[in-house]
Structure 1
């Protein structure tokens, strides 16, 4: 087997730095770009936001006339670029903010990011007119719209803008500072999840992913524990071992523990489980070649959990959180699991493997059973790129979720709205439970359609009586093109969702 030294992975670009100022853009020296908001007027006209009039006067440019000449409407993320000849700035961006909702500011931020690549700095007053949550949305959009990954001998083709100064924002009490800190944590988690999902599988195997979790977790003040294949076997993690049995690189189970400041024995625990299949061939039930092209990101659920865990302190999460990532490579060899095999999961429940390409639920089941039994959680949420059926049901940009508890369902719905990572609730319908029946085991892992529902029903027993949510975002894990804050490739979906929930004032409201 040819193994690529992980150290050969080139250094990647970093997201922009952010700063605040109460000054208007034209008052900030050394900026390469100024960016102003454009608001739709009631009569079809457009309005310019803070600092634009002063900038126009300083430059001797009629910005409103430019908007009129280009028929600008102020629609969300509409960009009018105005090159200028000045010793103060070289480019002015006029960016539509549409209805001025947080989503409009997130998309405006991404538009600014794309328009300022390879430039040293931009000063913008766009967030100065944002509603509650709009500054966070703008920063997150700017960060994630800047994302790129490369492995070129000549270096990256483009680099994010180096510095983003948020102008016209006074902050006598530090409130805006706190919001900016939280926004950077959310955007950074999305960036880390996207990076992990994008690294190719000739570097990213289960031991490599575990090492990343150790390094990132320890830097964030977390306790990190990793099970190797010997410990997995000794403790009965049969699903993880079976899925990883065909690979030359052994499986791992990653555990990351976060404890909030001031926690005591009464502080409740949340368990997160993220699918960590570092590459999925389908196993002996092999995928067609085109079906494997994106399978380096089949660990996107695990990436979301790892990235979210590292940012919990930055969003002031008030509860204990344990993140579990069962990591394996579903490969093909003489030792690979076979159709018809029966495996015993952690805790004793058995599964008949009638489709080796339904492997994610097998590793998730082990981690869920362990988490419920050993960690006594108040709530359990798993995130996974679990079924192609979810993409058939919901299309490209929306993930699905299931819940056995209305409080969990509401918290996930609220987090989806706040984060911009869209979810749609799916029915956990008992009508299909009979499809899971097996003549030789507790359940069949290949229950058939409706595939997203039967996969959720397969996992449900492993949640026991714990309030549980299951997020299947196979539909949203891969962006085919650049679109708003999404860049073409793995999306890093889930990290912002989890942090929006766990960073809320009371994550367990309505649950415990």
Structure 2
């Protein structure tokens, strides 16, 4: 990641970035007044200044000046400058620590490029000239910058993992990446199950059975001393999804390297919790498999026995995500008994039909938990909309030969959540269906084209709010 640091000494050789708001000097104020919507969040206006220093000024719109607006300004600034251009951002005197956090997150997230991409990643340093001289404010700014960097690193990791082609990213490779990341951080433990160790994971074995790359089950744990709350995060980890025997059409298959976006998000959030030293026990569970077509692929009509001993009739091998999540949830309920469980999964195409490309669906029977997660998402800049967990649809999951079927006509997001509901046990729970917002077709503010890392920001906000009883949006 490129460097962002505070400075006390202006440098006229750097490109100056001026947030558009009250208190501008007469020249900047005149430039802003001459530009339509110059204060709109995410709007950048470029003014060359030949024969003067600095030789270029960027006006960055910050709107009402809340964290989201500063995040938009930061992302737009990162994209407006050349990759190696040194930027110097002049903060107004009334800039809050939340604004600094938003600005820094926007700069880092907007400046992201996939490591094997054709666009150069930002390398030029960003210097922030603080308008505050108060030492308390300076300390708060530094804390905000640290938190922003931790979140950005988590999102970058989630994006990198999701953007990696499936020709590289099989279950074994992804499990190895998790082990490597955990090894660099004290206090984390990793367990990887494979082969005969997966005997009870019937859904995972069935989904992964048609691939030459066998499945894995990874448990990543952050357990700080004195933690009194245990949160389990479960992420769908299908490294590529052909649809299996119920094969997808070509257009539906070409982005299926992103079908492990949920696993990437929960791993990134758990690593971030360790980096922030959060006093919350966090366990990430990632069932990893490639849903391929082969002689050993599972078939429509097969009956699968899950970790908890219950059975599912496979009526559509392209509804595989819920089958692997069911095993992970059964394992969590039986072996971990957490205080609450959150699933994050690129689970249904119906997510995009219902809510469009930018919004994840949230389903939970727990109003308080749903409200806290929604508040965390709003603060983090990830859009969430709660859908009803309509229990009267559950009868459509009935099977004549098993405890349930895995796919049925009806409201797809809701039906998938109702399927999963059986496996959470007695824990409080919430489920995110984030298939649509896991991928961006073009650069859009803090989202870079490709994988978005959706969920890592929301989860880290929520987990941080459990530290000391803060509100989830704090």
Q: Which residue of 2 aligns with 1:3?
A: none
Give the deviation of 1:483 after TM superposition.
1.0
* Counterpart Cα distance in 2 of 1:504 and 1:171: 26
Structure 1 510/80 Cα, relative in aligned 2: closer, same or farther at 3 Å?
closer
8 Å contact kept, 1:278–1:297: yes
Native 8 Å contact 2:170 2:289 kept in 1: yes
Instruction: Indicate the residue corresponding to 1:422 in structure 2.
Output: 383
Match runs of 1:127-138 below 5 Å:
129-131=94-96, 133-138=98-103
Give per-residue Cα distances to partners, 1:408-445, cap 9 Å, x unaligned: 11221121111111100111111100010000111100
2:135 equivalent to 1:172:
yes
Q: Do the aligned partners of 1:37 and 1:48 also contact (CA within 8 Å) in 2? A: no
Q: Does 1:71 align with 2:36?
A: yes
Change (3 A) 1:127 1:299: farther
Contact 2:190/2:220 (<8 A) preserved: yes
For 1:114 and 1:150, how far apart are their aligned partners in 2? 17
Residues 332-411 of structure 1 mapped to structure 2, 5 A cutoff:
332-411=293-372
Task: Work out whether 1:110 is the aligned partner of 2:75.
Answer: yes
1:243 aligns with 207
Match of 1:158 in 2: 120
- Cα deviation, residue 193, structure 1: 0.7
Pair 31,438 (structure 1): closer, same or farther in 2 beyond 3 Å: farther
CA–CA separation in structure 1 for the residues paired with 2:171 and 2:470:
35
Q: CA deviation at 1:471?
A: 0.5
**Which of the numbers 22, 28, 33 marks the counterpart of 2:15?**
33
Match of 2:254 among 290, 293, 297: 293
The structural deviation recorded for 1:70 is 3.5
* Aligned partner of 2:177 among 206, 209, 212: 212
Answer yes or no: is 1:223 the counterpart of 2:189. Answer: yes
Range 498-507 or range 213-222, more displaced: 498-507
Matched, 1:190 2:145: no
Query: Matched residues in 2 for 1:244 and 1:258: separation?
Result: 28
Offset at 1:314?
A: 3.1
Aligned residues: 468
- Whether contact under 8 Å (1:128, 1:167) holds in the other structure is no
Give the deviation of 1:150 after TM superposition. 5.0
CA distance in 2, matches of 1:96, 1:192: 29
8 Å contact from structure 2 (residues 213, 290) kept in 1: yes
Counterpart position of 1:318? 279
TM-score (normalised: structure 1): 0.87
Q: CA deviation at 1:506?
A: 4.2
**C-alpha distance in 2 between matches for 1:268 and 1:470:** 19
Determine if contact 1:117/1:158 at 8 Å carries over to the other structure. no
Q: Is the 8 A contact 1:354 1:445 kept in 2?
A: yes
1:456-467 equivalences under 5 Å are: 456-467=417-428
The separation in 1 between residues aligned to 2:321 and 2:164, in whole angstroms, is: 19
TM-score, with normalisation over the residues of structure 2?
A: 0.94
Are 1:263 and 2:226 counterparts? yes
Q: Pick closer, same or farther for the CA change 1:337–1:115 going to 2, 3 Å.
A: same
Provide the C-alpha distance between the structure 1 equivalents of 2:98 and 2:395, rounded to a whole number of angstroms: 45
1:127-181 Cα deviation digits (max 9, x unpaired):
75444522111111111111112536xxx43221422112114462422211111
State how far apart, in whole Å, the 1-side matches of 2:290 and 2:149 are: 32
| Aligned-partner SS, 1:452 | helix
> For structure 1, which runs of at least 5 residues remain unmatched after alignment?
1-14, 40-46, 57-61
Shift of 1:461: 0.9
**Shift in CA distance, 318/201, structure 1 to aligned 2, threshold 3 Å:** same
Instruction: Indicate if the aligned counterparts of 2:19 and 2:61 stay in contact, CA closer than 8 A.
Output: yes
Instruction: Specify every segment of 5 or more residues in structure 2 that has no aligned partner in the other structure, as ranges.
Output: none
Deviations 1:450-503 (CA, angstroms, capped at 9, x unpaired): 110010000001001110000111121111121111111111100001000001
Distance change (3 Å), C-alpha of 1:48 and 1:281: farther
Secondary structure, counterpart of 2:423 in structure 1: helix
Q: Distance in 2 between matches of 1:403 and 1:435?
A: 19
Alpha carbons of structure 1 residues 367 and 451: separation in structure 2 relative to 1, 3 Å? same
In the alignment, what sits opposite 1:59?
none
Partners of 2:115 and 2:312 in 1: CA distance: 40
Name the SS for the 1:36 alignment partner: strand
Change (3 A) 1:208 1:507: farther
SS of 2:442's partner is: coil
What is residue 119 of structure 1 aligned with on the other side?
A: 84
Contact 1:246 1:332 in 2 (8 A): yes
1:347–1:294 distance in 2 versus 1, CA, 3 Å: same
> Is the alpha carbon distance of 1:186 and 1:170 closer, same or farther for their aligned partners in structure 2, counting shifts above 3 Å?
farther
Task: State whether residues 144 and 191 of structure 1, in contact with CA within 8 Å, keep that contact through their aligned partners in structure 2.
Answer: yes
| Offset, 1:30 | 7.0
Corresponding residue number in structure 2 for 1:9: none
Q: Which residue of 2 aligns with 1:482?
A: 443
